[in-house]
Chain A
Amino acid sequence: MNLSMRWLKEFVTLDEMPIRDFTEAMTMSGSKVEGWEVEGSEIENVIAGKVLSLDKHPDSDHLWITQIAVGSGEPVQIVTGAQNLKVGDVVPVAMNNSSLPGGKKIKKGKLRGVESNGMLCSLGELELTKHDFPYAIEDGIFVLQEDCQLGQPICEALGFNDTKVEFEITSNRPDCFSVIGLAREAAATFDKPLNLHKPVVKAGNGSCKELLDVKVEDTDLCPIYSARVVKNVRVKPSPRWMRERLRAMGVRPINNIVDITNYVMLEYGQPMHSFDIRFIDEGKIRVRRAKDGESITTLDGVERKLTSKNLVIADARKPIAIAGVMGGEYSGIMDDTTAIVFESACFNGASVRTTARDQGMRTDASSRYEKGLDPNNCLPALERACELVELLDAGDVLDDVILDNHSSSERRRIRLDVDWINRFLDLNLNADQMKAILTKLDCEFDGDDILVPTFRPDLEHKADIAEEIARFYGYNKIPGTSLSGGAQGKYSPRQKFNRVINDTMLALGASEIMTYSFISPKYYDKIRMPADSPLRKSLIISNPLGEDSSIMRTTALPSMLEVLSRNYNNRNADACLFELASEYIPTTEDELPTEKTNLIAGMYGNQADYFTAKGMAEQLLERLSVYDYEIEASSEEASFHPGRCAVLRIDGYRLGVIGEIHPKVAENYGIDERIYCFTLDVDLLFQYAKTEKTYVPLPKFPAVTRDLALICDDSIPVLTLEKAIVRGAGNLLENIKLFDVYKGEQIEAGKKSVAFSIVLRSLNDTLTEDRVSGIIKKTIKELEKVGANLRS
């Protein structure tokens, strides 16, 4: 919301103060200033001058050489290309070394050999439009019709002496979307009186009751509707003072009637509407819900279908405006308009909000109504509009106000609980001090009860009163105290667990990523998810930003691949990444989904291979003390290479998957490298991780190491051999280390040689040679059972 300082000062006398002091104090009392701008501050050394002579440029058929009187001193010669000048015109003259809006600098120079000591300005060059000075033309020099002296700075001559201050108004304070509302805040902030003026309408041109009949049919959505009629409307530009104020508030002047409605809206915060009475059928105004199937073409020329959710202003037959949002195309003011109806009404905020949203048109009026306006503001605003009509001689106001009022003017009562407020704020004020603050805000008192003004619906509870006291006492004058009571801060076991995972992954060389939780349903195809996979059933966002982010992911794999792909395309030679990613598994329609945390890691480049990924997963599992998992080859995972993928299980649950991404998937992501990924279900990990650890004494007796070189079918997984060794060696087995797998020369085709180092140790004694060979014999027997023989 922009505020004209000049307008503000009509209602509150502020001593001369630097604008920064004003904005700072307003900000600190709760009306946050976003910025300010002194009008014309960019204009420098531009003055009013008079054309003394006009001569054709000898070397041009369109340039003119002018001599300009600029008050004191010699006339100035300026060459111009404009064709609208005549001798005697007063024009804005940008002198040598002057500045114009937008940072444009003007210096003297020569135009086709003739000296030009400045520039004559158009409206546009001063950042003005025809609306600001309706008598001027836009393509040509701005010929002033203002009362000014030659040599006078142009800002002074055009009335550029206002300062616009931009406020951020919070949604609870619709009353502050007005000059009067902000004036009230300013008066309270600077402890000055607020000088409001009561509008006076002379009228005396006969009653309007014959012409107009108003009835509110849906009083739930329209607590008050008031209207007055103006005859003999004289449409013309508004006076300069009004245009200047509108301009400072960021509103374009149009004509006196439109400007009056805008002026009143800005001053009172009450949207106004004017109808041409010719287009109100039978002079009947009905405020009612639209009938299904009704439609209206609004002022912006769009035909809009209405439903019974939309409140409209209708005449005897049809809607003529969408209540609180926009008027119909025939309701506006035209050149031949002679009689108008001014409407000042209050509509239900929620209803206006829904309608504006459904119709896709938020207007100045609707954004005010949405926040909830004060019904008691309607009549003063209507009176003010009519007062302005008379002041501007814009028409003849008829007698009587047409009013259908179902609102209450009663003030809400809140008990002033001085002790509670003092305790709540940690202050020590007495009742009188509090009342003094509240009085400045137009509160009245009845004993201990505060009578809240009706324009402050946000004041409902004693906490709201506490805020008003705190704002004007000064938030920053209230001390800061430390919390008492010995609370213990802590992380939950699960939070600590997640952090261990994070830290371990970082230590293993993976970098942490964060990805969006929503994806496109097409991404499931991209990762070759089977058509019948239950994971295809995702939560669907009903109003997504786009298809790419329209469902909540049930797997984080596409997100990881997306990031790997982006890195690959950005020519990063390698990447090793992980995310503790949320996945969202739908339950029933009415219930929240299950949010699972999955660890996903992905990598390419840097000599990564399947075993890099597997090693990383194994080390993480070891760090988390998750041991009892099973691993088996799987060719069923559609996203993965069928020969390079393993599924991990624990206690029958699927713990995760490790593998090389299927080349087709890699291709879908445009990655021309092998990609390796693994996922681990963190919820399961947490369940199976051993968090309590106990010390195991260091061994006192030496270990014995035996190497076994075996021959077996190539198809037998090493894990099968390891399991046989575990069975054979029993509880003295301390460690198995695979140190060689060999295929090729000296090995029969279809076979492989596998070599293990087996470490045996007893905790109670030194192992004798006999015992060791006994164990090795048993081990070899177990190995033979699975098809592996000692290599001779």
Chain B
Amino acid sequence: MKQELEAIRDRARRELEEAKGQQVLENLRIKYLGKKGELTSILKQMGGLSADERPKIGQLANEIRSFIEEDLVKRATEIKEEEMQKRLEKEKIDVTLPGTRRELGAKHPLSIELDAIKEIFVGMGFEIVEGPEVEYDYYNFEALNIPKDHPARDTQDTFYINDKILLRTQTSPVQVRVMEKQKPPIRIISPGRVYRSDAVDATHSPVFHQIEGLVVDKGITFADLKGTLETFVKRMYGEDSVVRFRPHHFPFTEPSAEVDVQCFNCHGEGCRLCKGEGWIEILGCGMVHPKVLSNCGIDPEVYSGFALGMGLERVVMRKYNIDDLRLFYENDVRFLKQF
């Protein structure tokens, strides 16, 4: 019996080594260790052994059983590993094939920059206020110190609906509306569409966007205007931007200024981008004219303030080197998807 047991062990080892696949392994387990398996049937014959031999053979049989069991586990692990290897090999793909894509919408470049500008002002404590695009002449002009027949009306060729109603040429009327309703302190920006009767070309559009800002409080100074705008320019164009304030004229501010930033391209030397001036004009601003404050029911002896305004399209054109304003309103997807 001993030889038979050892023969079973050797055969089992051999067959296990050759076994391929989980199913073969399971068959071998049944063949050797199952209820009707070879080892079991041999053990059934143990009754015919002497009392002397029985424990020895019994021990040997147990050893062989655990031996086969160990081999089975070992082989099972090996086979699993082999099968995994095979599967992995089979599943190899060309990882350079293009990825599956979901369509992503593109934000309009004007929106992208407008949001960036809003973000900067919100960070400086400004609220965002919007107002009607179709506006009363009063809010667009008269309240802003531009009476009828004022020459400044010439530079803002206006679309009229009737004598009293027009398409706003600036977003300043929003500021007037805020000043009428709200007592200082006021710290707002008013972004939005404005209209001027300019024929469409590469640099003109009858519809464009402006962002205007207004601060009114006790003790607001020209230095506050400068400090606020310097901060804005640095956030917008980088901390190393060089800014200058140049006297200018707007009917609704006094003193008025235009703000230039040193040309990013030539750093003041003069180049094509800045038309040889070394500076690029980016916005207009000034201390709110006392007449405008009193028009809005705010006492200019008590309060003062500043206002600023800039054109969004120009900011965006400069930022992305866009040379034709019409692209913004043509909305060709090949344009939109670039930003």
Contacts and interface: CB of A to CB of B under 8 A. Distances in A.
Residue among B161, B287, B332 having the largest count of chain A Cβ atoms under 10 Å: B161
A606 B329 CA distance: 23
Interface in A257-288: none
B212 interface: no
A472 to B, nearest CB: 9
Given A471-B255, A549-B206, A426 B222 contact: yes
Interface string A1-42: 000000000000000000000000001111010010000000
Given A466-B254, A490-B122, A492-B128, A506 B247 contact: no
Nearest to B111: A512
B133 interface: yes
A544 B287 contact: no
B74 interface: no
A577 interface: yes
Given A489-B121, A516-B329, A567-B331, A481 B227 contact: yes
B154 A353 contact: yes
B75 interface: no
A463 interface: yes
Nearest to A509: B103
A271 to B, nearest CB: 16
A115 to B, nearest CB: 41
Interface in A440-478: 458, 461-464, 466-467, 470-471, 475-476, 478
A475 B257 contact: yes
Interface residues of A, number: 88
Contacts of B244: 28, 475-476
B77 interface: no
B228 A539 contact: no
A351 to B, nearest CB: 8
B221 A576 contact: no
A461 B145 CA distance: 13
Interface stretch (A170-178, A241-249, A668-676, A727-735): A170-178
Nearest to A539: B161
Contact of B246 (A32, A491, A513, A542): A32
Contacts of A349: 149, 151
B122 A491 contact: yes
Given A171-B155, A475-B246, A481 B224 contact: yes
Interface string B243-284: 011111101001111100000000000000001100000000
B185 A479 contact: no
Residue among B104, B149, B222 having the largest count of chain A Cβ atoms under 10 Å: B222
B217 A28 contact: no
A592 B151 contact: no
A595 B254 contact: no
Contact of B160 (A507, A518, A542, A593): A542
Interface stretch (B36-44, B53-61, B79-87, B162-170): B162-170
A516 B334 CA distance: 19
B134 A595 contact: yes
A513 B110 CA distance: 10
Given A489-B127, A490-B122, A424 B287 contact: yes
Contacts of A517: 133, 193, 195, 207
A495 B289 contact: no
B231 interface: yes
Contact of B255 (A28, A470, A486): A470
A512 B105 contact: yes
A471 B227 CA distance: 18
A543 B222 CA distance: 39
Given A467-B254, A577-B333, A505 B105 contact: yes
A514 B331 contact: yes
B199 interface: yes
B47 interface: no
Contacts of B107: 502, 506, 511-512
B206 to A, nearest CB: 6
Contact of B247 (A371, A475, A516): A475
Given A170-B249, A423-B219, A515-B331, A487 B207 contact: no
Given A349-B151, A480-B227, A506 B221 contact: no
Contacts of B161: 539-542
Interface residues of B, number: 89
Given A478-B226, A511-B106, A471 B330 contact: no
A482 B171 CA distance: 25
Contact of B249 (A173, A481, A513, A595): A173
Nearest to A543: B160
A483 B160 contact: no
Residue among A28, A32, A572, A606 having the largest count of chain B Cβ atoms under 10 Å: A32
Interface stretch (A74-82, A582-590, A705-713): A582-590
B25 interface: no
B128 to A, nearest CB: 6
Contacts of B223: 425-426, 478-481
A425 B221 CA distance: 5
B149 A172 contact: no
Contacts of A426: 221-224
Contacts of B115: 499
A78 B95 CA distance: 76
Contact of A592 (B136, B160, B276, B291): B136
Interface in B93-151: 102-108, 110-111, 115, 118, 121-128, 130, 132-136, 148-149, 151
Interface string A546-584: 000100100000000001001100101001111000101
A518 B133 CA distance: 12
A479 B275 CA distance: 29
B304 interface: yes
B33 interface: no
A210 to B, nearest CB: 40
B149 A463 contact: no
Contacts of B8: none
A689 B214 CA distance: 32
A489 B127 CA distance: 5
Contact of A511 (B149, B164, B231, B337): B337
B28 interface: no
B227 A575 contact: no
A595 to B, nearest CB: 6
Given A483-B224, A511-B337, A489 B123 contact: yes
A472 B102 CA distance: 60
Interface string A219-235: 00000000000000000
A539 B289 contact: no
B103 A589 contact: no
A40 to B, nearest CB: 19
Contacts of A582: 133, 193
Nearest to B223: A426
A470 B248 CA distance: 12
A511 B127 contact: no
Residue among A32, A514, A563 having the largest count of chain B Cβ atoms under 10 Å: A514
Contacts of A499: 115
A580 to B, nearest CB: 9
Contacts of B124: 483, 489
Given A170-B248, A576-B103, A592-B136, A470 B222 contact: yes
Contacts of A424: 221-222, 287, 304
Contacts of A567: 331-333
A725 B16 CA distance: 59
28 contacts: A29-B247, A353-B151, A370-B151, A370-B154, A461-B289, A461-B290, A462-B290, A464-B254, A466-B254, A467-B256, A475-B226, A476-B245, A480-B223, A481-B227, A485-B185, A487-B125, A489-B187, A491-B118, A495-B128, A516-B329, A517-B133, A517-B195, A542-B159, A542-B160, A544-B197, A567-B331, A576-B103, A592-B165
Sorted nearest first, the 8 A-B pairs with minimum C-beta distance are A509-B103, A30-B247, A467-B255, A487-B125, A480-B227, A350-B149, A426-B223, A170-B249
Given A487-B187, A511-B108, A516-B329, 14 more contacts: A171-B152, A353-B149, A354-B149, A466-B255, A480-B227, A480-B229, A483-B215, A483-B227, A489-B123, A492-B128, A509-B102, A552-B167, A567-B332, A584-B134
